[in-house]
Amino acid sequence: MGIFSALSIIGALGFFIYGMKVMSEGIQKAAGDQLRKILKAITNNRFSGVITGFLTTSIIQSSSATTVMIVSFVNAGLLSLRQAIGVIMGANIGTTMTAWILVLFGFSKFSLADYSLPILAIGVPLLFTSRLNIKSVGEFLIGFALLFMGLELLKGEVQALDLKNNETFIGFITSLSSPGYGTILLFVLIGTVLTVVVQSSSAAMALTLIFIGNEGEGISLELAAAIVLGENIGTTITANLAALIGNVHAKRSARAHLFFNIFGVIWMLIIFYPFLNLIEWLMQEIKETSFGQKNLVTYQDQSRYSLALFHTVFNVINTFILIWFVGFIEKMVVRFTKAKNDEDEMFQLEFISSGMMSTVELSIPEASKEVRKFGDIIARMSGFVRKMMTEPDKKKAKKLFERITKYEEITDKIEIEVADYLAKAAKGNMSTETSVRIRGMLSMIGDMERIGDIFYQMSLELERKRREKVWFTPEQRDNLLKLANVVDRAFKVMNDNLSMEHTEVTYDKAWEVEKELNTLRDEIRTQHFLDVEKGEYSVQSANFYSNMFHSYEKVGDHIINVTEGLTGSIE
């Protein structure tokens, strides 16, 4: 094989992978909201999770995309790890549909490659429509056409090599094809490496289907089946590598997938040859049907159908075995992938899975959960300021000041990282509703970060007041604590709203607390001016006091802004 031939095969493979990517992303954009609702509706019933994973992966033709969605919903608290494991099992079955689609429409007498140009003729004009759903359908059709065009090019490049008379290829296969389990293990390794290199189990399967054939013409069914087992491991390694920069939830989901597939490969290798005999018997039965007589004309056709059948039956049986051990798998991955519980490490985003972003719509739950956590952090800062305001012990007050300082740094980092995540997500096509939600979340994290700044400034005021030995009167302290109580109630309403579906959020409670805060502030300010005129306290005390109650008012304003951002009513 010359350099030109090698580059041609790589280019055709790239054509195929790109088509798969465009098709998968198109269907995700078109059905993103529906897929999200389906996944959210999953119950603890492991069987419903398997069915959902199978259907979702069969539709979007990407087990990796399904896994990303699963991790996203685990991160957002919409799925438990146990539920996610069931969906992953179903996704493993769903990914076997790719082989059937390729065999039925790419290698049979009826090839979709012959209709790729008409499909493109329909799909390309849809890209120029203003409706995003229709545009997404156009992307799906274009990807679908490119996928089969790439497959046809790949088949043509391999056929041009004339493997039947290619002495180099025949010698290579012969040298590797010595009988025994050593050869099977070697081809399992080849399948694993192949999948990791091309970063797509679908592309690896397409290559395997192309190279299968008679002895001397291609690889045997036995070796192709071994490669498929390797592909099952390879696709989980890819996910685990991506999860290395993700959070604990991403790691647990990826490792559950790894355990599931490795266990399957192990038991399959133990009964490998008897299982292949079973597949060949099933294919013989199918061949005698009218469908088999029409389609299984050559050895290669039969071998490709046998390989697709092997892949499907293997994953179905593996799922049937392990579905009864979901609880055990969950405990095992939690045990070996522990979460960090130190609250001082909250600057690390817990719910956003870096590097594993899917479509825009499917990124929203991750960001929403992170914003919800952001709300808890700034509410906690309010408690620290309250304690600092009433703490008589100098050392304890100093520790509270240091803690507030650290939390202020955390709020800065969360705003930057969440905003960066949302900016990356917003680069793709999105619905009007999703655009409003992203804009709202950007506004909300901005307001939350400013609340963190205000609490930090309040702590500086209190620290300076302590150093200068300026004291509040009991009345001043009581009034500030009243404001703190109302602000804490405003935080409670805000965080309750953040925990709800955005469509269910209303202004009512938030505005009630905001009005109460403004009324109390006005009363305190009026009394403050009267007390200053009477000389009830020093000018220094008056300045500190005024700064404090005005700061609480600003916090209340930002809290109500968060509700506006949540409902999408920002300007």
Query: What is the per-residue DSSP string for 421-443?
Result: HHHHHTTS---HHHHHHHHHHHH
- From 307, 336, 365, the end of a domain falls on 336
- Residue 319 and residue 437 in one domain: no
- Residue 262 and residue 326 in one domain: yes
Q: How many domains does the chain have?
A: 2
- Residue 365 and residue 482 in one domain: yes
- Residue 297 and residue 348 in one domain: no
Tokens 């980092």 belong to which residue?
413
Segment 42-57 mean pLDDT: 72
How many alpha carbons lie under 13 Å from residue 506 in its C-beta half-sphere? 3
Segment 193-207 mean pLDDT: 77
C-beta of residue 103 within 8 angstroms of C-beta of residue 393: no
* Helical packing angle, 248-270 and 81-94, nearest 10°: 50
- In whole angstroms, how far apart are CA 397 and each of 1, 400, 543? 75, 5, 21
> What integer pLDDT is reported at residue 346 of this predicted model?
40
C-beta of residue 286 within 8 angstroms of C-beta of residue 296: yes
> What integer pLDDT is reported at residue 202 of this predicted model?
75
Segment 189-197 mean pLDDT: 83
Report residue 140 as tokens. Answer: 């799906």
- From 316, 336, 356, the end of a domain falls on 336
Residue 351: band (very low, low, confident or very high) from pLDDT cuts 50, 70, 90:
low
> What integer pLDDT is reported at residue 356 of this predicted model?
43
C-beta of residue 10 within 8 angstroms of C-beta of residue 197: no
Identify which has the larger pLDDT, 364 or 409: 409
Query: Can you tell me the distance from the alpha carbon of 137 to that of 147, in angstroms, rounded to the nearest whole number?
Result: 15
> What integer pLDDT is reported at residue 265 of this predicted model?
92
> What integer pLDDT is reported at residue 161 of this predicted model?
60
- Residues 534, 535, 541, 544, CA torsion sign: positive
Residue 91: band (very low, low, confident or very high) from pLDDT cuts 50, 70, 90:
confident
- Residue 425 and residue 318 in one domain: no
- pLDDT over 50 (residue 215): no
> What integer pLDDT is reported at residue 9 of this predicted model?
76
- Residue 216 and residue 117 in one domain: yes
- pLDDT over 70 (residue 430): no
Residue 67: band (very low, low, confident or very high) from pLDDT cuts 50, 70, 90:
low
Segment 59-74 mean pLDDT: 63
- pLDDT over 80 (residue 251): no
Identify which has the larger pLDDT, 22 or 169: 22
- Residue 322 and residue 351 in one domain: no
- From 273, 301, 336, the end of a domain falls on 336
> What integer pLDDT is reported at residue 275 of this predicted model?
93
Which residues, listed in sequence order, are joined to residue 219 by a DSSP beta bridge? 212
Please name which of 571, 170, 77 lies closest in space to residue 371, comparing C-alpha atoms: 77
Identify which has the larger pLDDT, 238 or 285: 285
- pLDDT over 50 (residue 355): no
- pLDDT over 90 (residue 336): no
> What integer pLDDT is reported at residue 37 of this predicted model?
61
Q: What percent of the chain has pLDDT over 70?
A: 75
Lowest mean pLDDT among 4-8, 154-158, 514-518: 154-158
- pLDDT over 50 (residue 345): no
Segment 427-442 mean pLDDT: 76
Residue 216: band (very low, low, confident or very high) from pLDDT cuts 50, 70, 90:
very low
Segment 555-563 mean pLDDT: 89
> What integer pLDDT is reported at residue 423 of this predicted model?
80
- pLDDT over 70 (residue 241): no
> What integer pLDDT is reported at residue 274 of this predicted model?
92
Identify which has the larger pLDDT, 462 or 19: 462
Report residue 489 as tokens. Answer: 């109630």
Q: What is the mean pLDDT of the chain?
A: 78
- Residue 219 and residue 314 in one domain: yes
Lowest mean pLDDT among 109-123, 138-152, 293-307: 293-307
- pLDDT over 70 (residue 315): yes
Q: Any residues with CB less than 8 A from the CB of 406 and at least 6 apart, and which?
A: 344
Query: Can you tell me the distance from the alpha carbon of 494 to that of 241, in angstroms, rounded to the nearest whole number?
Result: 37
- pLDDT over 60 (residue 162): no
Segment 423-431 mean pLDDT: 70
Please name which of 320, 316, 287, 290 lies closest in space to residue 304, comparing C-alpha atoms: 287
Q: pLDDT tens across 513-558, in order?
A: 889 988 998 898 888 888 888 888 888 888 888 889 889 989 999 9
- Residue 142 and residue 19 in one domain: yes
Tokens 């929403």 belong to which residue?
368
Segment 133-144 mean pLDDT: 82
Identify which has the larger pLDDT, 272 or 358: 272
> What integer pLDDT is reported at residue 33 of this predicted model?
59
Q: pLDDT tens across 488-509, in order?
A: 999 988 888 888 776 676 777 8
The radius of gyration of the chain from alpha carbons, rounded to an integer in Å, stands at: 31
- Residue 271 and residue 349 in one domain: no
Range of the domain at 457: 344-567
- The CATH number covering residue 419 comes to 1.20.58.220
- Residue 71 and residue 193 in one domain: yes
C-beta of residue 155 within 8 angstroms of C-beta of residue 17: no
Lowest mean pLDDT among 96-110, 235-249, 371-385, 436-450: 235-249
Assign 3-state DSSP to the chain and report helix, strand, coil percentages, each to 5: 80, 0, 15
Identify which has the larger pLDDT, 48 or 478: 478
Residue 35: band (very low, low, confident or very high) from pLDDT cuts 50, 70, 90:
low
Query: What is the per-residue DSSP string for 140-155?
Result: HHHHHHHHHHHHHHHH
Lowest mean pLDDT among 115-129, 298-312, 447-461: 298-312
C-beta of residue 522 within 8 angstroms of C-beta of residue 560: no
178 conformational bin, left if phi > 0, alpha if psi -120 to 50, beta if neither: beta
- Residue 295 and residue 408 in one domain: no
> What integer pLDDT is reported at residue 21 of this predicted model?
75
The separation between the first and the last C-alpha atoms of the chain, rounded to the nearest angstrom, is 62
